[in-house]
Amino acid sequence: MSKILLIDDEFDFSDLTKTMLEFHDFDVSSLNDPIQVVEHIKNEKYDLIVTDLMMPNIDGFEVIRRVRELDDYKDVPLIVLSAKVLNDEERKFLLQNNVHFLVKPFEPHGLVEQIQNLLGDA
């Protein structure tokens, strides 16, 4: 069973998304405080990370930077779920860090399909 970490400061959204992914047989943990991410993933190995971009304290871009600095997470698939309209620099950053982007609101099946494709579980 693939382990997924979901990072989003909106409790209702993360609970709903977690439940939906668990329905599709993924083992999902969620964090609502992005500051905890690095310490959390040092102690737990995930196959894929899903994060929001617009969060308090540190944004999703900083989360991605911190995750990619860890040797165990340099190649772990990352998906961003966000309603943010990206500028060219932000799009370039996501491309350079091999991050996939889905616009909120998103089609639940589209997220599941994206995860399955990235993990080779399709």
Cβ contact 75:51 at 8 Å: no
Specify the pLDDT at position 106: 85
Provide the CB-side half-sphere exposure for 45 (13 A, CA): 6
Phi, psi torsion values for 7, nearest 5 degrees: -120, 115
104 confidence band (pLDDT: 50, 70, 90) = confident
Asked if residue 122 has pLDDT above 60, the reply is: no
pLDDT reading at 62 higher than 70: yes
Tokens representing 108 are: 């639940």
Give the residue from 46, 13, 16 showing the smallest Cα distance to 29: 46
What is residue 27's three-state secondary structure? strand
Structure tokens at 60: 């999703």
Amino acid 97: pLDDT:
95
